[in-house]
Chain A
Amino acid sequence: MTVDIGAPLFAQIQQLTLPEEILQLTFQGLALGAIYALIALGFVIVYKATEVINFAHGALMLLGTYIVFSLVSGVIPEGASTAANQAGSNFPSWLGWWVDLPIGWRFGLAILMAAVVVGLVGIGVERTILRRMVGQPVFAIVLITLGLELAISTSVQVIWNPQQKVMPSPFPPASTLRIGNIGMQWANIWAITVMIVVVLAFFAFFKYSRFGLAIRATALDQEAALAMGIKASTVFAIAWAIGGALAAIAGALFVPARLAGFITLTPVRFSALNAFPAAILGGIDSPGGAVTGGLIIGVTQVLSSRWLNPIFLDLNFPNFHQVFPYLLMVGILLFRPYGLFGTVEVRRV
């Protein structure tokens, strides 16, 4: 039987020159790094303000992803049953106008809504749980966030049903902007753009607004800030809200840009892990460091994967690019134990 399989898209295998390839891969790395930067930023802001290592960040990302999925595709999760979540929108009819909006608008508004919701979840977590853990050993707090990670990510999975979901994406993976011989996927361009916008907004907030000032003051010296009338509890709440919102944005961007819309649990949940070396590299309490670290890790991961992996593969050690970010992190920590931009701790005897 004959099947028409279409004409080849490109006449021959075009090859890039080495400088072109480096540029191309650097761009790819920046796109990857943009997501890492957003994740790391959310992580760092929570740590800077509250000194809590939030291992639940990945679960918050997942929650944000699923909320955006529901809003964009118009599928309300019908709870824990296998017959739920059939394909096709099941929004009530009075919300029909929403499903008719162009996907770009839906996506943008959905991200904003998800950021608000997950931000509120963050505040909720801080208020109910972490508030009571003030003064407890850091281990206990770390473990609480780990427990939350398990509880939240499993609940999310159950509510939305673990079947493979595909998020309708405003930027299909194959649509590309070409400049010379370099092809830039629109998904990646958007990821970088959103990162720049969010980071600028964040820094503007941090530097010029009263809340940003309050966070910086509390991070510097909690008692002095209290003496000046800055309530620590407000600061904590804001930090968690921002952290949650950033997690939601990162999660929502992650899936269309990196996974072609396939909501695959493991990469989303554990992508936060890849951002940890980024946060450490830049200095765990430096937001600027987090962004820089994320971009560095992204670019070095792609470049090392291209040129270092084959060397190790010949020695029968595949996937060197997985260890490389950690090696880089350790290397930098040897010379700067507090990261590139982190504050050096003054320890009293």
Chain B
Amino acid sequence: MALLPSRLSRYWLGLLIVVLVYFPFYARGLEGSSFWLVLATLVLIASIGAVGLNLLSGFAGQISLGHAFFLGVGAFVGATLSTPASTTLSGVSFWGLGLPWWVGVLGGGAVAALFGLVVGPAAVRLRGLYLSLVTLGLVFFGDFLFTAPALEKITGAVRGRRSAPVSFVFPGMESAPFIEGNSEALYFAALIVAVVGFVAAKNLMRGRVGRAFQATRDHDIAAEVLGVNVTWAKLTAFGVSSFYAGAAGALLGVFQANPIGSNFGGAAGLLVSIQYVAMIVIGGIGTILGAALGAVFVIALPELVKFLTGQGWLPFVAETGGGSFDESAFSTVLFGLFIVLFLLYEPLGLYGLWLRARNYWKGWPFKY
């Protein structure tokens, strides 16, 4: 099937891209403008990582809880590549090459992919739950690695290191065209990487590689018998998904301005990994669009709750700081319950809902 099978889907994709490109300019006029822009940027970055995880877990069926580790690798490698060498507040001098932001993104992805290839052989030997718990070990290994003073020049150890903002100032120009401020620059960088990443992922899954992944997921012994090189498929799955995670991590490092190792490893890292698993499952496992939908849901839900509380629709919930059961606690509980209820009634996730809606409108006014 072609990448964009019908004229209608091409039209919708074009419209989506136009909307996304126009969004920052529209957001300049909104009250609290930087908030919406920053939120949208975070959603885009998260969706890149989610697509990567979906390739590994959704298409190739390899359960991984170690996504945070690859994000961290990408963050620090990306920061080392694209931030000028500096001495920061605590007196530590960091390595930094000051290269353009996209070198950081690609480099972060590449190094993360290398780590993914190292983990890949474990997937060949282990299955299911055993594999997922080995990937859990990655998260703790990440904590060990990222906070070690031995790697201070790259990771900043316990204090973290600076990750320079994205700059679109091309050589020969005085300032970036159309773009005002670092937040907008990061948004566009994330948008470019997201679009490229999504198209690449969709294309990949359409071809030989995608079919090999799915065969591995569904019946790997049968696939081997039929001539699919399952070992190669699993290694590729880890490599590609780690690349995506590394690229997303590089952008995430810029977003956090001062990425710190303890946020990508240990208990905090596990929460990040879980967040990404939530994105792909809620979005729709094994679908590319699902990753994006899931990212929107997971990132935007707390903000939705705060919005509803602010409008007074949830009177039993106090505002931030006004008591134990305030919007933050409520949104966390709600988030947990949402996941549970969603999966109970729609195991295919948001993508399933989307399919349902689409089929309804396709067949309207007929029922089926």
**Could you give, for residues 176-215 of chain A, a 1 whenever the CB lies within 8 Å of some chain B CB and a 0 otherwise?**
0000000000000000000000000000000000000000
Chain A residues within an 8 Å CB radius of B128: 138
Q: Does A326 interact with chain B (Cβ within 8 Å)?
A: yes
Q: Does B307 interact with chain A (Cβ within 8 Å)?
A: no
Which of A82, A133, A146, A284 is in CB contact (< 8 Å) with B129? A284
Give the complex CA separation of A263 and B338 in angstroms: 28
Min CB gap B256→A, angstroms: 21
Which of A158, A322, A338, A349 is in CB contact (< 8 Å) with B324? A158
Chain B residues within an 8 Å CB radius of A143: 277-278, 281-282, 339, 343
Which of B134, B225, B335 is in CB contact (< 8 Å) with A333? B134
Give the complex CA separation of A345 and B270 in angstroms: 28
Contact B333 A155 (CB under 8 A): yes
Contact A273 B332 (CB under 8 A): no
Chain B residues within an 8 Å CB radius of A82: 323-324
Q: Does B274 interact with chain A (Cβ within 8 Å)?
A: yes
Given contacts A139-B281, A277-B133, A320-B144, contact A144 B267 (CB under 8 A): no
Which of A139, A147, A320, A345 is in CB contact (< 8 Å) with B338? A147
**Could you give, for residues 115-145 of chain B, a 1 whenever the CB lies within 8 Å of some chain A CB and a 0 otherwise?**
0000000100111111011101100110110
Within 8 A of A (CB), among B304-355: 323-325, 329, 332-333, 335-340, 343-344, 347
**Could you give, for residues 309-325 of chain A, a 1 whenever the CB lies within 8 Å of some chain B CB and a 0 otherwise?**
00000011111101100
Contact B122 A140 (CB under 8 A): no
Chain A residues within an 8 Å CB radius of B347: 133, 136-137, 140
Min CB gap A85→B, angstroms: 10
Q: Does A26 interact with chain B (Cβ within 8 Å)?
A: no
Contact B336 A349 (CB under 8 A): no
A interface, by DSSP: helix, strand, loop or mixed?
A: helix
Contact A322 B144 (CB under 8 A): yes
Which one of B17-25, B147-155, B181-189, B243-251 contacts A? B147-155
Q: Does B7 interact with chain A (Cβ within 8 Å)?
A: no
Which of A146, A330, A345 is in CB contact (< 8 Å) with B274? A146
Chain B residues within an 8 Å CB radius of A70: none
Contact A151 B136 (CB under 8 A): no
**Interface residues on chain A, size class:** 35 or more
Within 8 A of B (CB), among A211-235: none
Contact B281 A149 (CB under 8 A): no
Contact B344 A133 (CB under 8 A): yes
Contact A140 B281 (CB under 8 A): yes
Which of A132, A144, A150, A333 is in CB contact (< 8 Å) with B130? A333
Given contacts A139-B285, A326-B140, contact A149 B324 (CB under 8 A): no
Contact B333 A151 (CB under 8 A): yes
Q: Does B263 interact with chain A (Cβ within 8 Å)?
A: no
Chain B residues within an 8 Å CB radius of A276: 133, 136
Contact A317 B340 (CB under 8 A): no
Contact B267 A273 (CB under 8 A): yes
Contact A150 B336 (CB under 8 A): yes
Contact B126 A317 (CB under 8 A): no
Min CB gap A5→B, angstroms: 34
Which of A142, A155, A316, A320 is in CB contact (< 8 Å) with B277? A142
Contact A317 B150 (CB under 8 A): yes
Which of B221, B267, B339 is in CB contact (< 8 Å) with A147? B339
Contact A329 B340 (CB under 8 A): no
Give the complex CA separation of A261 and B312 in angstroms: 40
Contact A349 B219 (CB under 8 A): yes
Contact A139 B150 (CB under 8 A): no
**Interface residues on chain B, size class:** 35 or more
Query: Who on chain A is nearest to B316 by CB?
Result: A80
B interface, by DSSP: helix, strand, loop or mixed?
A: helix
Q: Does B63 interact with chain A (Cβ within 8 Å)?
A: yes
Query: Who on chain B is nearest to A131 by CB?
Result: B344
Give the complex CA separation of A152 and B337 in angstroms: 9
Given contacts A81-B324, A161-B324, A318-B147, contact A154 B336 (CB under 8 A): yes
Give the complex CA separation of A320 and B336 in angstroms: 33
Give the complex CA separation of A120 and B334 in angstroms: 23
**Could you give, for residues 217-235 of chain B, a 1 whenever the CB lies within 8 Å of some chain A CB and a 0 otherwise?**
0010110010000000000
Min CB gap A256→B, angstroms: 22
Q: Does A162 interact with chain B (Cβ within 8 Å)?
A: yes
Which of A147, A327, A329 is in CB contact (< 8 Å) with B133? A329
**Could you give, for residues 264-293 of chain A, a 1 whenever the CB lies within 8 Å of some chain B CB and a 0 otherwise?**
001000100100110010001000000000
Contact A337 B130 (CB under 8 A): yes
Min CB gap A297→B, angstroms: 12
Q: Does A11 interact with chain B (Cβ within 8 Å)?
A: no
Given contacts A318-B149, A319-B144, contact A150 B332 (CB under 8 A): yes
Contact B336 A151 (CB under 8 A): yes
Q: Does B242 interact with chain A (Cβ within 8 Å)?
A: no
Contact B285 A316 (CB under 8 A): no
Chain A residues within an 8 Å CB radius of B281: 139-140, 143
Contact B343 A133 (CB under 8 A): yes
Chain A residues within an 8 Å CB radius of B324: 80-82, 84, 157-158, 161-162
Min CB gap B267→A, angstroms: 5
**Could you give, for residues 166-192 of chain B, a 1 whenever the CB lies within 8 Å of some chain A CB and a 0 otherwise?**
000000000000000000000000000
Which of A129, A137, A316, A337 is in CB contact (< 8 Å) with B340? A129
Chain A residues within an 8 Å CB radius of B225: 349
Given contacts A270-B267, A330-B134, A333-B126, contact A147 B323 (CB under 8 A): no
Q: Which of B219, B324, B337 has the largest number of chain A CB atoms within 10 A?
A: B324
For the complex with contacts A150-B339, A273-B267, A322-B143, 9 further pairs of A-B residues with Cβ separation under 8 Å are A138-B63, A143-B278, A144-B340, A147-B340, A147-B343, A157-B324, A322-B266, A339-B130, A349-B222
Chain A residues packing against B (C-beta within 8 Å)? 47, 53, 80-82, 84, 129, 132-133, 136-140, 142-144, 146-152, 154-155, 157-158, 161-162, 266, 270, 273, 276-277, 280, 284, 315-320, 322-323, 326-327, 329-330, 333-334, 337-339, 345, 347, 349
Task: Please name 13 pairs of A and B residues whose Cβ atoms are closer than 8 Å in the assembled complex, sorted by A.
Answer: A53-B132, A80-B323, A146-B274, A147-B343, A151-B340, A155-B333, A161-B324, A273-B267, A277-B137, A280-B129, A323-B144, A329-B133, A338-B130
Chain B residues packing against A (C-beta within 8 Å)? 57, 63, 122, 125-130, 132-134, 136-137, 140-141, 143-144, 147-150, 152, 219, 221-222, 225, 266-267, 270, 274, 277-278, 281-282, 285, 323-325, 329, 332-333, 335-340, 343-344, 347
